[in-house]
Amino acid sequence: MGFLDGLFGNKKGGSVIGVDVGSSSLKVVQLRREGGTAVLETYGEIALGPYAGGQVGQATNLPADKIAETLKDLLREANVTTKNAGLSIPFSRSLLTLVSLPRRANDEEQKTVISLEARKYIPVPVQEVQLDWFIVPEAIPEGGTPSSNVQVLLVAVHNDELTLLQKVVEGAGLETSFFEIEIFSTIRSVVDEPVKPVMVLDIGASATKVYVVERGVVALSHNIRQGGQDVTRTIASAHGLEVSKAESLKKEHGFTDGNASYERKTIELVFSRIFDEAKRALTKYETAHQKAVSALILTGGGGVTKDLAAYAKSFFSIDVHVADPFAKTSAPAFMRPVLQEIGPEFAVAVGLALRKLEELN
Ligand SMILES: Nc1ncnc2c1ncn2[C@@H]1O[C@H](COP(=O)(O)OP(=O)(O)OP(=O)(O)O)[C@@H](O)[C@H]1O
Ligand SMILES: [Mg+2]
């Protein structure tokens, strides 16, 4: 790709990239700050499947040096002109838990309480993870007093994942100031609702990440171990097709009726399983918080599936939006239809680049 840069000029100063290390593909988005807007300079994607002896659209588990090599190819093909990068951490390699802990007036004491209590919630030895946390700002009603507990979002990431990403960064010749769990990147690029809870479904290749965001905070998150590759495999086996053929048919037709290659009920079967599990998470949130989720945002490559939004709407009986992360960037009008269509795949990369841009200020 990289066909955008000729159009936008090629200023190198102040450009940043977001790099999404997905299980099935690497994605990059390059942005530049111009006044108050984030200008889209270039973007690109490269499938990892073929580098792992598999097919486009299939999940991989490649070593750092292979990922770095592939990333170098992508940076070249997309005409990326900067080394300033932010990278994503897969949700499956991390842990997010919202816990309620006793409030302490003193900051130091509060830190001690959190770090001692955190251990109880992390199901692996603490030395195997990097631990971080955020205290969720409380919405205190006028004239009210803070509650006796604080809400704390605990975040843990496997050390070996961070080591892998560090090697990828070095191998690809990039410079990075942060790794961010993909959920936070996506929230930045696609969730605009400031108050009401919304549910995000990031349908990737190997997994679907489902989470509820309320006032910008992840109130619940869950990893469903099924994604786009399961859709493709099911179409392939149900209709005796090669995986690569099933993949391209799926991308062409999605849920659209009246295609002779596979039946709608085949694709519906897989999505209904994913949605069933997502619905359980949704119900769990609504029961625990006594609040209704107001909308569903579809993202990830699977979110591009034709007519999926209509099916999701009838399945969940709530408002459904398909993510449009490039709407947060400035690009020529004629590019809009394309950017809107492929947007869901780039939500993580756009969110990472937006954070990296904020750092420049
Ligand atoms: N137009 C489309 N219609 C239907 N499915 C699509 C389309 N485009 C991509 N996909 C599917 O999306 C999946 C890849 O999505 P994505 O790029 O978000 O995954 P990933 O980030 O590599 O994976 P993960 O998030 O699980 O690590 C593939 O299974 C692919 O078949
Ligand atoms: Mg992904």
Nearest CA to ligand 1 atom 12: 301
- Assess whether 249 and 259 both reside in one domain: yes
The pLDDT of 158-169, averaged and rounded, is: 97
- Assess whether 200 and 317 both reside in one domain: yes
Give the nearest ligand 1 atom to 208 CA: 26
Beta bridge partners of 27: 20, 45
pLDDT tens column, 242-298: 999 999 999 999 998 777 789 999 999 999 999 999 999 999 999 999 999 999 999
Confirm whether 25 is domain-assigned: yes
Confirm whether 54 is domain-assigned: yes
The yes-or-no verdict on residue 7 having pLDDT over 70 is no
- Residue 13 confidence (pLDDT): 54
The yes-or-no verdict on residue 2 having pLDDT over 90 is no
Spacing, Cα 228 to ligand 1 middle (Å): 5
Q: What radius of gyration, in Å, describes the C-alpha atoms of the chain? A: 21
Q: Distance between CA 248 and CA 129 in Å, rounded?
A: 39
Is residue 300 within 6 Å of ligand 1 at its C-beta?
yes
Find the DSSP H helices in 50-106.
64-77
- Assess whether 280 and 308 both reside in one domain: yes
The yes-or-no verdict on residue 4 having pLDDT over 90 is no
CATH of the domain at 241: 3.30.420.40
The yes-or-no verdict on residue 8 having pLDDT over 80 is no
Is residue 343 within 6 Å of ligand 1 at its C-beta?
no
**What are the residues whose beta carbons fall under 8 Å from the beta carbon of 174, sequence distance 6 or more?**
17, 19, 71, 83, 84, 85
- Assess whether 260 and 317 both reside in one domain: yes
Is residue 197 within 6 Å of ligand 1 at its C-beta?
no
pTM as predicted: 0.94
pLDDT tens column, 96-123: 998 999 999 899 999 999 988 888 888 8
To which H or E segment does residue 41 belong? strand 37-47
- Residue 256 confidence (pLDDT): 85
| Residue 97 token pair | 């838990």
Average pLDDT, the chain: 93
Question: Alpha-carbon torsion 123, 127, 132, 136, what sign?
Answer: positive
The yes-or-no verdict on residue 320 having pLDDT over 70 is yes
The pLDDT of 198-213, averaged and rounded, is: 98
Show the 3-state SS of 184-244: HHHHHHHCCCCCCCEEEEEECCCCEEEEEEECCEEEEEEEECCCHHHHHHHHHHHHCCCHH
Measured from the Cβ of residue 266, the count of other Cβ atoms closer than 10 Å reads: 18
Report how many domains make up the chain: 3
Residue 360 CA to chain centroid, in angstroms? 23
Confirm whether 179 is domain-assigned: no
Confirm whether 261 is domain-assigned: yes
- Domain that residue 78 falls in: 1-83+324-361
Angle, alpha carbons 346-52-306 (nearest 5°) = 35
Q: Distance between CA 31 and CA 22 in Å, rounded?
A: 20
Q: Distance between CA 133 and CA 127 in Å, rounded?
A: 16
More confident residue, 155 or 261: 155
Q: Name which of 17, 352, 311, 312 is nearest 190 in CA terms.
A: 352
Is residue 229 within 6 Å of ligand 1 at its C-beta?
yes
More confident residue, 121 or 305: 305
Confirm whether 163 is domain-assigned: no
Q: Indicate the pLDDT class of residue 68, thresholds 50, 70 and 90.
A: very high
Among 131, 157, 183, residue at a domain's last position = 157
- Assess whether 53 and 129 both reside in one domain: no
Share of the chain above pLDDT 70, in %: 96
